[in-house]
Amino acid sequence: MNKQATIWHYLSAAPHRSLFLVGALQGVLTLLWWMLDLMGRYGVIGNAPILNMAPIWAHAFLMVYGFFPFFIFGFLFTTFPNWMSGEKIKPRYYLATCIFMAGGVALFYVGLYISKTLLVTGIAAMLTGWGIAIIALLRILLQTLAQDKRHARVASVALIFGWLGMVAYLVWLLTDHSFFLDFSRQAGIWFFLLPILLTVSHRMIPFFSSRVLENYVIVRPYALLWLMLVCTAGHGLLQLMGMPQYVWCVDLPLAGCALYLSWAWGLLRSFSVSLLAVLHISFAWLTVAMLLFAAQSLMMWLNVGERIWFGLAPLHALVIGYFASMVLGMASRVTLGHSGRPLVLDHFTWLLFLGFQITTLFRIMPDIMPAASALAPVFYLFAAAVWLICFMLWAARFAPVYWRPRVDGKLG
């Protein structure tokens, strides 16, 4: 077997390998692209090039639909069969998903600078890969006889809404109708990413905690999960209806539930095991983000001042603090466990995780502290640089694992 065939053999040996690899590369590219755009915007490297759409909407699409899904599909392709004791996802499904989505993202980048037609083609390719993934996961969900499919059902519905959000983005490109862009933005966060991350956290954080903490009692209240999902959907719907001044009504209960679960799941106890602590710390950001969203909404409801308080701080606390940090934690754990390595987070990776926390703080600080607002460009550039460097180092550390054999000699 030649070297190229050997690499392909290992990349295709398990669902997470190819998808996590592309996700790692795409994460670096997305952050690098955004860093360069910020540097051009603030005059660090001259003027930013003219694109076929506003850079902010390209940034939103690449983060929500072009970065996180690679890790989400890699994770769900691995865990769905385990959750329901179903058959393993066949390679033709996860490889097709990876190829279509990776090719679509590549076309999207080129289309930004060359042709709107390439943008449309790229999104269509991504939708094809996403659709294949949904079909593969729904087959497991519908064909297995497992009695408890609650987490899998929620994840499946969220994936469908994510696909619809991308469809809306495509329709916006073709029609320039602002409603479709707004739906894509809200669906991507509130109907897709947050429901999936909530569901995975609800299922996996207590389970992982019970494996390493002594005398640990699993707390997994489904009533709270349903309430949090209703609040999440409510936030998205209120935003779509043009009533952001009322989202505090759902954000405060969501923040309260998240705070209770952080306590019940043992946030402080988790610090004794760094691989577990990264998951608990990531989840704690959900409370912070929703409190910021609630405060922002209350300021609007009370008509305090003429500006939007806290700017994009709540969104970045959610996306970087919770989503990105949780992806780093979960992806690291899956990579270590499924490569035959000990489930121990080394000091280097722990420092990279702390870098994600520094990124979050520096990104939200100018939006919540008036004293720092005058230096906002400096804070934004620093946050982007730290995030890019940390993710590049994480990718360099873990990416080679995906094309190499397991260290314990097993398959997968």
Domain ranges of the chain: 7-403
Residue 409 pLDDT more than 80? no
According to the model, what pLDDT value does residue 58 have?
96
Cβ 28 vs Cβ 392: under 8 Å: yes
According to the model, what pLDDT value does residue 303 have?
86
Measure the CA–CA gap between 303 and 142, rounded to whole angstroms. 49
Instruction: Give the amino acid at 63.
Output: M
According to the model, what pLDDT value does residue 370 have?
83
According to the model, what pLDDT value does residue 5 have?
59
Q: What is the CATH number of domain 7-403?
A: 1.20.210.10
- Please give the structure tokens belonging to residue 208: 């992982």
Mention every residue, 6+ apart, whose C-beta is less than 8 A from residue 349.
332, 394, 397
- Please give the structure tokens belonging to residue 332: 């690291």
Mean pLDDT of 220-245: 97
Mention every residue, 6+ apart, whose C-beta is less than 8 A from residue 241.
none
Residue 262 pLDDT more than 80? yes
Mean pLDDT of 222-239: 98
Measure the CA–CA gap between 365 and 371, rounded to whole angstroms. 9
Cβ-count burial 100-115 (b if 16+ within 10 Å, e if not)? bbbbbbbbbbebbeee
For a pLDDT cut of 70, what percent of the chain falls above it? Answer: 98
Mean pLDDT of 138-143: 93
**What confidence category does residue 146 fall into, taking pLDDT thresholds of 50, 70 and 90?**
confident
Q: Is 143 helix (H, G, I), strand (E, B) or coil?
A: helix
Residue 70 pLDDT more than 90? yes
Q: Which of 182-186, 223-227, 369-373, 391-395 has the lowest mean pLDDT?
A: 369-373
Residue 1 pLDDT more than 70? no
Mean pLDDT of 193-217: 96
Residue 56 pLDDT more than 80? yes
**What confidence category does residue 306 fall into, taking pLDDT thresholds of 50, 70 and 90?**
low
- Please give the structure tokens belonging to residue 358: 């520094």
Full-model pTM: 0.96
Mean pLDDT of 266-287: 97
Choose among 345, 350, 375: nearest CA to 363. Answer: 375
Choose among 50, 69, 59: nearest CA to 32. Answer: 59
Q: What angle do CA 159, 231, 290 make, to 5 degrees?
A: 100
Question: What value does the mean pLDDT of the chain take?
Answer: 94
Mean pLDDT of 101-126: 97
Measure the CA–CA gap between 175 and 62, rounded to whole angstroms. 20
According to the model, what pLDDT value does residue 196 have?
98
Cβ 307 vs Cβ 239: under 8 Å: no
According to the model, what pLDDT value does residue 98 have?
97
Neighbours of 373 (CB within 10 A): 13
Residue 137 pLDDT more than 90? yes
Residue 297 pLDDT more than 80? yes
Q: Is 1 helix (H, G, I), strand (E, B) or coil?
A: coil
Mean pLDDT of 51-71: 96
Residue 216 pLDDT more than 80? yes
Residue 259 pLDDT more than 80? yes
Residue 61 pLDDT more than 60? yes
Mean pLDDT of 35-63: 89
According to the model, what pLDDT value does residue 316 have?
98
Element (H, E) at 192: none
**What confidence category does residue 3 fall into, taking pLDDT thresholds of 50, 70 and 90?**
low
**What confidence category does residue 47 fall into, taking pLDDT thresholds of 50, 70 and 90?**
confident
Summarised one tens digit per residue, pLDDT across range 28-46 is 999 999 999 999 988 888 7
- Please give the structure tokens belonging to residue 179: 């409603």
Measure the CA–CA gap between 218 and 115, rounded to whole angstroms. 52
Q: How far is CA 289 from the centre of its chain?
A: 15
Measure the CA–CA gap between 240 and 256, rounded to whole angstroms. 24
**What phi and psi, each to the nearest 5 degrees, are found at residue 173?**
-60, -35
Instruction: Give the amino acid at 115.
Output: S
Summarised one tens digit per residue, pLDDT across range 332-391 is 999 999 999 999 999 999 999 999 999 999 999 999 988 788 899 999 999 999 999 999
